[in-house]
Structure 1
Amino acid sequence: MTGEVVLDVLVGIFLVAGGLLSLVAGIGLVRFPDVLSRMHAATKPQVLGVLLILLALAVSLRNGADLATLVLIGGFQLTTAPLAAQMIGRAAYRTGRVHRESLNVDELADRDSTGSGPAD
């Protein structure tokens, strides 16, 4: 096996793994019962799936400008997905769409409705 064949096999493995993780994320969005579970499915496997696909592209392209672009895409994905999930979870909690009995620890229970501090 030559180096090119090995790299092509790695690209294929990364693409299939990334696609499967993205598929699992999509299935989780449809199948999970509540907002917090869906939020988990939308961020964890989806981000890893995108990063694996970007890694496959990086191995395949091997060009400096393309690699810089892929690193930027991966960085934005790693920063925006958790922040969006945090905002979605916070909005769901504030609007009462979270089943509070399913929470192990409710750190926001002692805050008022605006989330600005402890309720007096």
Structure 2
Amino acid sequence: MQELVGSIVILVGAFFLFSAGLGLLRMPDVFTRIQAGTKASTLGNILVVAGLGIYHPDWSLKLLIVAVFVLITNPLSSHALSRAAHAVRTPMAETTVVDALRDADEAAKEGEA
């Protein structure tokens, strides 16, 4: 039973990893691609690691360290990539209405003047 549950959790994680890859292909601009890839791949990786933890309980401590590493590095790296893309003025999708970072930068420049 333990092997079945672990395998199902790994399969669900693999589905989210697949959807992350699909999101990278389907999204219109770099910012939505980063968001789709990061959220789905973080969840997919955590589910795969959790499934491995269920399947192999003696690996639990090592897998917990991997999960914490994924939870820290995925959002941090996507944030850095998004800020860098915004800094070099990467174009947004035509349907994007709000650019909160641009507005914050303009407000900061007005405050300095």
Instruction: Say whether the fold is shared (TM-score over 0.5).
Output: yes
Normalised TM-score (structure 1): 0.81
Q: State the match for 1:118 in structure 2.
A: 108
What does 1:28-107 align with in structure 2 at a 5 Å threshold?
A: 28-63=23-58, 66-99=59-92, 102-107=96-101
Pair 1:100–1:29, CA change in 2 (3 A)? closer
Report how many residues are paired: 109
Which stretches in structure 2 are left out of the alignment for 5+ residues? none
More helix by share: 2
Q: In structure 2, what is the Cα distance between the partners aligned to 1:30 and 1:96?
A: 21
Q: Which runs of 5+ in 1 are unaligned?
A: 1-5
Q: Between the two proteins, what is the percent identity of the paired residues? A: 26
Closer/same/farther in 2, CA of residues 60 and 100 from structure 1, 3 Å limit: closer
| Residue aligning to 1:7 | 2
Q: TM-score, normalised by structure 2?
A: 0.86
Instruction: Give the root-mean-square deviation of aligned CA atoms.
Output: 1.9
Q: Which has the higher contact order (CA 8 A, sep 6+)?
A: 2
How far is 1:111 from its partner? Answer: 2.0
Give 1:100 shift: 7.7
